A and B are shown apart, each in its own frame.
Chain A
Amino acid sequence: MKRETGGRRVAVSGVGAVCGLGWGVAPLWEGLRAGTSAIGPFKRFDHSAHRTHLAAEVAVETAGETGGGPLLERLGADPRWERLSLADRFAVFSAVEALAQSGLAAPLTGAGVFFGSSTGGMFESERFFSAFLRGRRRQAHLRDLAAQQVNAPGDAVARWLGATGPVRTISSACSSGALALGAALEAIRSGEVDVAIAGGSDSLCQLTYAGFNALRSVDEGPCRPFRSGREGMSFGEGAAVLILEPLERVLARGAEPLAVLAGAGSACDAHHMTAPDPSGTGAAAAIEAALADAGLPAAEIGFVNAHGTGTPLNDAAEWNALRSVFGERAGEIPLSATKALLGHLLGSSGAIEAVATVLCLLHGELHPVPSIPSCEGAGVDPASPVALVMDRPLPLPGVRAALSTSLAFGGSNAALIFSQAGKARAGKT
């Protein structure tokens, strides 16, 4: 698996996000640091007949009050905004926010867009179906169905920013976002593009809500990854975008690199459509490939942002993968699971967890998960004894690199390695 990275190191020069904690990176980081869970009652659709009743919902009506601020107002005033699905809006907001931080400006001639999504505008197409199937054909608007395309959020971002480079949407279930970042990394290394807008977007919809419930993969309470008594995932929604550029380009234009995307790896279980390979072999292969790609030994990894869905099988397989890669250290590396706060963003989970990883590296501390003492199973499951950080952020001064994992339906595993931009910078000068 040897590869030439061509010496082109790839920096993150901007991040943007929308999730249950709010519109923007500021509410995301504030909530992550405090271990605030956004998972709770929600009202996007009538879920009274569904099996479970929680989600980390993006505040759509009260967006202005939850951190969307002037940016959301400005976007909302644009005539194009009204035609976008929710997933498109989350994506465009995140991309515009990330771009502003990077110091770059639209139109992004030659830039590429690499996006992950599971269901695109499924929520809107459910509105069409609901009206259509109940015989209310006049209320079934074709525009709602047109939004359903999985490639719609990535295309919407490219259109909004005037990107004319390659645009690719990856829909490999819950590893889509991480795979999109891997594709962006490759495109910059190979010289195909100098600027990549990479991320993912998904919104809550009944199809996935009922589907995961039919698989009994959803916890009736908030999801508690790696904890005793965990019963499954919680749903989330939102988007995240990272602006990637060659490190030297970021430094040359006097901008501040937030982190370096050092490596990406992926591997398939080839085992089962839904159940992970219990041995974690495929997940371990993805992590090993990412480490090799980054040229880093496992010992350099200072913390792990785990996939950690909270389903008994998935967390167990992930623990086995970590044990196979890190050996004795597996139970000592500080670990967090962003899904305990934001729920599962499906196709964009890999992207928002990448943003969480970058923020943790940047601030030198790992965000905690809430302990939820009221729920059964406050402690870490002794069968998967990870060093889970709870309730208070863990200071990690001098942390150099971190791992973020994504393990999906269909055995599609992906891993990303981020490293400190500070060190990269020092090494450069």
Chain B
Amino acid sequence: MPEASAIPSRIKRLIVDSLHLEGMKPEMIEDEAPLFGEGLGLDSVDALELVVALEKEFGIKIKSQELGREVFSSVSSLSQFIEARTSP
């Protein structure tokens, strides 16, 4: 199992890499900052791309019904969601 504390930084790394955010560094993304719309300016296709990357990285399956705005609102909400799915 991955260490819980490492999850947010792994998510940030995935966001930058899988979404091809050129010029952006993982540490520039704040835990609570909104990812979509106003924040990083990401959209629904970015969310889906991120899902594929998260599934691969954390070995989980995310159902379409779980793709709510709440889960994807920030790095910390995503991190909580993944923690719950990966903890024994």
Interface residues of A, Cβ cutoff 8 Å to B: 214-216, 231, 272-275
B64/A274 in contact, CB under 8 A: no
User: A272-B43, A274-B45 in contact; A214/B64 too (CB < 8 A)?
Assistant: no
Total B residues in contact with A, Cβ cutoff 8 Å? 7
Within 8 A of A (CB), among B47-88: 48, 52, 64, 67
**A213 — nearest CB in chain B belongs to which residue?**
B64
B44/A275 in contact, CB under 8 A: yes
5 A-B contacts, Cβ less than 8 Å apart?
A214-B52, A215-B45, A216-B67, A231-B64, A275-B43
Interface residues of B, Cβ cutoff 8 Å to A: 43-45, 48, 52, 64, 67
The 7 closest A-B pairs by CB, nearest first: A216-B64, A274-B45, A215-B48, A275-B44, A216-B48, A214-B48, A214-B52
Contacts of A214 in B (CB 8 A): 48, 52
Add 12 more A-B contacts to A214-B52, A215-B48, A275-B43 (CB < 8 A): A214-B48, A215-B45, A216-B48, A216-B64, A216-B67, A231-B64, A272-B43, A273-B45, A274-B44, A274-B45, A275-B44, A275-B45
Nearest Cβ distance between residue B18 and chain A, in whole angstroms?
Answer: 13
**A220 — nearest CB in chain B belongs to which residue?**
B64
Instruction: Please report the C-alpha to C-alpha distance between residue A252 and residue B48 in the assembled complex, in whole angstroms.
Output: 57
Contacts of B45 in A (CB 8 A): 215, 273-275
Instruction: Please report the C-alpha to C-alpha distance between residue A215 and residue B45 in the assembled complex, in whole angstroms.
Output: 7
Nearest Cβ distance between residue B52 and chain A, in whole angstroms?
Answer: 7
Contacts of B48 in A (CB 8 A): 214-216
Instruction: Please report the C-alpha to C-alpha distance between residue A55 and residue B67 in the assembled complex, in whole angstroms.
Output: 24
Instruction: Please report the C-alpha to C-alpha distance between residue A283 and residue B43 in the assembled complex, in whole angstroms.
Output: 22
Nearest Cβ distance between residue A229 and chain B, in whole angstroms?
Answer: 11
Nearest Cβ distance between residue B71 and chain A, in whole angstroms?
Answer: 14
Nearest Cβ distance between residue A410 and chain B, in whole angstroms?
Answer: 13
